[in-house]
Each structure stands twice: as C-alpha cells, then as structure tokens.
Structure 1
C-alpha cells in the first residue's frame, strides 16, 4: 500500500476519533482526574469492556474501506467480511486513539514532561476508549460519497459551518475547563493550537477522503482550498468568541485572557464546523 494512502487511512481514523466522540472527553477535567482517582481494577475493567465494544464495531463495519483492505490486507488472521484481518484493524485503531489522545492532551497542556509517568499512562487508558469508538466508526459514518446532497456555495455554507461549530462548542463553552486550559498555556502553545486547528480543518475537508471530498475538490485550486479552510477556521473562532460573550464572564477580562480562551474553544468549534461540511454538504 502506498505511503500516502496509508497516512490518509490513519489520519481519517484520528480525525474521526475526535469528531465522533473523543473531543468532549479531551476537554473534561473529570476525565483527567479519573487518571489519579480511579482504582486499577476499575480502570482495567473500563478499558477491557470498552475495547471489547471496539472489537465488535470493527468486526461489523471495519476501519478501512473494502478497496484498501483488499489491496493492503494479508491472508492471515481473523478477517471481517471482505476486509483486512480484524486484529490489524483493531491494533491500528488503538494506536490512532492513543496517539491522538496524547497529542490533544499535550496540545492543551494537560500533560507535559513534568506529569508523573503512571498518571500519563492512566490518562491514555481513560481517553483510549471513547477515541477508539470514534475511530472505529469514522469510516462507516464519514467516508464515501453522497451525490444526492448538493453543496451550498458561499455565503450560504456559512450557516452549515456555524451550526457544526455551535453543536460541538456550545456544551464545552460554559465549563471551567476553557478557563483552566487558557490559564496554563503560553503564547507559543496558543500559536501551535491555532496552527493545528487550521491544519486539521484542511485535512478533514480536502485530504482524508471524508464524505463529499470529490465535490469539494471539483474546480478548486489549492489556494481556494486554503481560503475555504481559513473561512471555516474564522467561523470557528467567531462562534467560540460569541459563545464566550453570550455566556458572560470575559467582557471584563484582559484581551490576552479572552484571546487565549477563544483559541482554546475554537479547536473543537472548527472541528465541528468542518464536520458539518462533511456530514451536511
């Protein structure tokens, strides 16, 4: 299998992990505290039961598309029908979930080099189940074409972007996690977070072969794709800022404070905006 195809498959699983279920866990302080508070037996039971569910989902719908599975699979191991070995897909999903889980926690400043190693391991195990469920479902829910859905043009598509951004960001906006994360990240991390937001948005729209990608690419130069990505990101930023203002509490804050909070909330908002473009057209 070509490297580009393999990277696209892995990237789709990681983005799907965040989009389907995982982003809310990453922004929940209770899930961070569970890593220190939950007993080892309880944690083990949670992971075993959760990953057993992931195995069932993977066996039913599969992570890879049938074409890629048939071209890249081997003849050994337990296969799902028409696909690659089940253990291969399951291993990939767990890897994707751990990678994107730790990457997100590090990006938000929840874990760093000073975090005790046992806590880091436990945080990964807490995050891996919801992320793995999302990764397992990503191919079935978000890939493929829907020719019956016509794509709205600018500025009509702004409503679609805003709807997705609100859907993802509104439940997170009033929580204390936004202020907590914003208070502990420096400006370098804010810039990296904004760059990652733009990059993930572009990948979801134009590179990972999510639903409707061929229509989004049709007749668009690379610069138009970048422009559309920037529009989606700006919508995410505006929705994030609007939610924070509507919920109160930032009007009296320094500009630096509400800027950091806006960027922190814009990450899930932009994922929601690009996800709405994938799902709704």
Structure 2
C-alpha cells in the first residue's frame, strides 16, 4: 500500500509532464507546421544537413531540460531521457498535425514524410522542453532553476531564444529580399537598433524576468550580456541561413546583409528567452 502511494505521484507528475510537453510542442511548432517553406525543406534539404540539425538540437534540448524541462530532473540520465521523449512527442504531434492539414498523405514518399517531420522536431522539441515554464511549475522547481542559473547558463538561454526565432524566419524568401532592398546605412541602423532594443527589452525595462543585479553597471551588463547575446544571435543566424541553403550563390557581403536582417528577430528572440525563462 505504501509503495503504491509513493509511486502514484511520480506517475501522475510524469503524465502531467507529457501533457505539457505535447501542448508546448504544438504551440512552438504550429507557425512552421503551417508554412509552405518548411514543408518544402523536408524534401529539398540535404539529408546530411537534416541529420546535422537534429544532432545539434540534442545539446540544446539537454540544456533546456537541465534549466527547465517538462519535468524536474536531478541527473544527466534523466535529462537525456527527457530530451528523447521530448523529440518523440514533437515528432508525433507534428505528424498528427501535418496529417490533419493534408500535408502528409498515403501518397507521400517515406523520404519526404520523414524530412517534413524531422524539420518540425526542432521547434517542437524546444516547445516540449519549455512546457513547464509556460504551463506551470511549483516554487521548488523555480528555486532549483534559479540555483542552477549562471552566466554561461544565461548566455545559453539567449542563444536558444535566438535559435528559435531565427529558425522560424530563416527559410523564407523575404530575408534575402529585405537584405537586397537595404543599403549600407539601413543595415548599420538595423544592427544598432537590434542591439539597443535587445538591451532595453531585457535589462532596462522593468519586465518580469528582467535582470535584477542593480549593483552591476549598465556598461558591464551591456558588454557581458547584450553585446555578447547579439554576437551569438548573428552567428546563429549565419548558421541557419547556411543550413537552409539561403547562403547558396550569395557573395560574402550579401550573406552578411542577410545575417544582419535575420539577426533582428534572432536578437528579439534572445531577449524574450531571458524573460520567459
């Protein structure tokens, strides 16, 4: 009787975590599940790039599980288990939604179907890992997340936010179009606006989740977090453009211009991640 009583809460919490993960996966993946460019990428993206994307997603989800996954974990083994459970849930939910939309049918080839689902695992997996912070958690969970927080952990969160939003936008043609429409002065203004908006959004405005370390000077916070976060956003933007083939045939200047354009939503995503997490 005592054993059953001890195990029931654990099972209930695990099932609650799975429900949160499923909800988070749909919310985060839905914009891409309804985007034609993402459907096409599942078929046109090189297999090795698709595999690289999935492999690179694992450490990202591992970090998210450590800082705030869909259930509270206390060991690397549990975090790894949750990563693959989250990816599985993201894949299943994406398959179901794509089937409902008629994107996946009996006539869809196996290669195309796997590609379309695999591309959605990245945003869906991130949503699954962030489910607890979005759909509720106890005070003990929040205290644990604060205890685990560190400078490198905060940079990781910034990078994750940049990855998510840049992943949403990078496959679209509009990024390249906007880059071609902008001159050097507008590009410089966009870079400055991205950097300053990122700093104001997180560290100056009194939003919930904003930085509370009042002892540190604004210059120190700007250099250590805002500037570093913006550089991370640009690097991630470049990586996304390359993976999705948007850098093919571009000169270095055109590629840099596209990265600056994509860096705008990426930097906003980085700032928002600090507020959410």
Normalising by the smaller structure, the TM-score range is 0.3 to 0.5
Q: Give the TM-score normalised by structure 2.
A: 0.46
